Structure 1
Amino acid sequence: MSVKLDGNIFVTGTNRGIGLELVKQLAEKTGVKSHIYACCREPEGTGAEALRQLATQYPGKITIIKLDTSDEDSISAAVHTVSERISDAGLNLLINNAAINKPPIPAALADTGKKDMMDVYETNVAGPFLLTKMFLPLLQRAAEKDSSGEGDKMSCRRSAIINISTLISSMEKCPETFPMAQMYPYRTSKAALNMLTRCQAEDFKSHNILVTAIHPGWVRTAMGGEQAPMTTEDSVLSMLSVMPSLSNKDSGMLLDFEGNRIPW
C-alpha cells in the first residue's frame, strides 16, 4: 500500500498505542518531502523509548516535540517550536490523537466524579481546540500554497485536521454500545470532539481546510484492553488507507477506519 500523504504532519499522543503506530507507518510510507512532528508529554522519559528509537531509525524525518494537551502553555510552546521549523511551508496535516479516559473502565456513574469529567474534557476537547486554533495560520498557509487546479479540493495532502474519535461517541449507537462500558467522561468528551469537528469544518471551509473525525476501531491498547479485536498496526493501516481519499464531502463527518459514515 502506498500512502499518498506528504508535507508537514503533526501527531499528538505518540509515545504508545495508536499514536506510536501512526508515526511508524507515516515514517515508512510517506514521501521524502514529508516530516513528522511526534508529540508526547515526556520525550525523555522511559515511556517514550520506542518513539525515540523510531526517530533514530528515520533520521531527519521525525522530530519529537514535548506536548501536554491539557496545558495551554505547553501547547503554545509546541506550536511556536514547530512554526519556527516549518516557516513558510505550512502545516499539511494535524492529527489530534492524544486522549485520556478516567476513571478506569467501565467508568460507571457511581465511580465518576466531577474532576474525572473535567480532566477528560480538558485533554480530549480543549486540547484539540487550542491546538487547531493556534495552528490555523500554518494550516491556512499550506492550503494557500496548493491553490491551482485540483488544489481547490480539500485533502489530507493539502491541509487537514483529523480528530481521532470513537464509535461510542455516537448518540444513535449509544443503546447498543453502552452495555460494554459506560465511560461517561470519555463518551461525552468524544461527542463534544465531534461537534468541534463539525464547527471547525464549517468555519474553515472557506480556507479549503478539511476537518474530519475518525473512529480507529476497537484497538488493543492500554485503553482498549487485551480483548479488543484490532491491533494498532491494522487500525493505523486502515486509517492511513482512508485519509488520502478524504475530500470536501467528508469534511465535518464522523467516519470509521474503513471510511464509512457513523451517525451522530
Structure 2
Amino acid sequence: MTTKTTGMVALVTGGSTGLGLALSAGLARQGWQVITDGRSEEKFKGAALPEAVTVVVGDLTDADHRDRLRTEVERHGRLDLLVHNASTLGPLPMRPLAEVDIPDLMHVWRTNIGGPLVLTSALLPWLREADGVLLSISSDAAVQHYETWGLYGASKAALDHVTLTYAAETGLRAYAVDPGDMRTAMHQDAFPGEDISDRPLPETVVPRLLALVEARPESGRYAAADLGGVLG
C-alpha cells in the first residue's frame, strides 16, 4: 500500500552510526520523514533516533534488502533526497595496493559503488518526480593519494563519477561531498591505536549538508569545509 507523504522524504544509507546517524536525526528534526538502513540491529537499538525515522536492517549489497528499501520509498510515495553514506574501508588493517587481492576489491567495490549505483537506478522514478537531490558522501582520498588508502580512495573516486554522471544523464541535482575527518568508528578503524579525539564530531558536518540540499547549487564535488563560501 502506498501512502502519499506530504512532507519531504529522505533515504540515508548507513544510518546506524557516525555521519549517517547524525544526518538522519538532523533531517528528522527539520521535519523530514527519513528512511535509513544498516547491518546491525543492535546499533540501531542504542541510536535513539526520532520517530520520523524508519529503519530497515540489512546490507546494501543484498538485492533483497535493496528491494525492501524500494518498497519503503514506495510506501511513502515520494523521495526528495537520496544519500549514499554507507561504505567500507575494506580489509583491516588497511594495506598497500600491492597486498590487495580480487576478493578485497570486490568487497569494497560492491559496498562503495555497486550498491549505490543500482539503488539510485531503482529509485530514479521517485527522485525524478520530486525533482530530488542525490548526495554521495565522498572523501579527500578520492582525489589525494595516501598510503594504504588506494582501494578505498579508488572506490570513492568512482562513486563521485557515478554520482555526477547521474546528474548529467537525468538533470537532477547531484553532489559528491567530502565531509572531512570526523570522530567516528570508521575513522578510528583507519587509525588503530591513535587518539582521534581532536577530530570534529559528525554532527558538526550536518548543518552544511542540510544547507547544501536546501540551496541546491550546481551539481558537483564539494568539500564540506568550503560550503560556507559556496552557499553564501
TM range (shorter): 0.7 to 0.9
Check conservation: 1:66, 1:78, Cα contact below 8 A. Answer: no
Counterpart secondary structure, 2:103:
helix
- Contact 2:14/2:38, CA 8 A, preserved across alignment: yes
1:113 positional shift: 2.0
Q: Which runs of 5+ in 1 are unaligned?
A: 1-5, 144-158
Cα deviation for residue 260 of structure 1 reads 7.8
CA displacement at 1:200 relative to structure 2: 0.5
In structure 2, distance between residues paired with 1:202 and 1:260: 25
Match of 2:191 in 1: none
Secondary structure of the residue that 1:259 maps to in structure 2?
helix
The counterpart of 1:80, out of the listed 71, 81, 86, is 71
**In structure 1, how many angstroms separate the alpha carbons of the residues matched to 2:26 and 2:46?**
14
CA deviations 1:43-62 (Å, max 9, x no partner) are xx3222233x21xxx33x11
Q: Deviations over 1:214-261 (max 9, x none)?
A: 1111111112124262211112233223332222x2x1x110113289
- Answer whether contact 1:69 1:75 (CA < 8 A) is retained: yes
Q: Which residue does the alignment assign to 2:8?
A: 7
CA contact (8 A) 1:216 1:236 kept: no
Give me the whole-angstrom Cα distance separating, in 2, the residues matched to 1:107 and 1:18: 24
- The amino acid of 1:165's aligned partner reads S
- 2:34 pairs with one of 36, 58, 62: 36
8 Å contact from structure 2 (residues 73, 79) kept in 1: no
Is 1:68 matched with 2:38? no
Task: Indicate the SS of the match to 1:182.
Answer: coil
What does residue 112 of structure 2 align with? 124
| Equivalent of 2:210 in 240, 244, 253 | 240
Q: In structure 1, give the amino acid aligned to 2:15.
A: T
Task: Work out the CA distance in 1 between the residues paired with 2:67 and 2:27.
Answer: 25
Cα drift, residue 105 of structure 1? 4.5
Counterpart of 1:214, as a letter, is: V
1:203 to 155, 169, 174: 169
The letter for the 2-side match of 1:75 is: R
The answer to which of 108-117 and 19-28 deviates more is 108-117
Do 1:72 and 1:130's aligned partners in 2 also have CA atoms closer than 8 Å? no
Q: What is the TM-score with the length of structure 2 in the denominator?
A: 0.85
The answer to whether residue 221 in structure 2 is matched with residue 254 in structure 1 is: yes
Report SS of the residue matched to 1:21.
Answer: helix
Matches within 5 A, 1:1-264: 7-28=8-29, 30-31=30-31, 34-42=32-40, 45-51=41-47, 53-54=48-49, 58-59=50-51, 61-83=52-74, 85-87=75-77, 90-143=78-131, 159-170=132-143, 173-174=144-145, 178=146, 181-205=147-171, 209-225=172-188, 226-227=195-196, 229-247=199-217, 249=218, 251=219, 253-257=220-224, 258-259=226-227
Which consecutive segments of 4 or more residues in structure 1 shift more than 4 A?
none
What amino acid maps onto 1:204 in structure 2? Answer: T
Count residues with an aligned counterpart: 215
Return the alpha-carbon distance in structure 1 between the equivalents of residues 126 and 18 of structure 2: 27
The one-letter code of the counterpart of 1:255 is Y
Aligned-residue RMSD, C-alpha: 1.9
Q: Offset at 1:110?
A: 4.3
Give the TM-score normalised by structure 1: 0.75
Q: Distance in 1 between matches of 2:105 and 2:54?
A: 32
CA offset at residue 64 of structure 1? 1.1
Tell me, in whole angstroms, the C-alpha distance in 1 between the residues paired with 2:105 and 2:200: 27
Change (3 A) 1:71 1:260: farther
Q: Report % sequence identity.
A: 28
Structure 1 residue 77: Cα displacement: 2.3
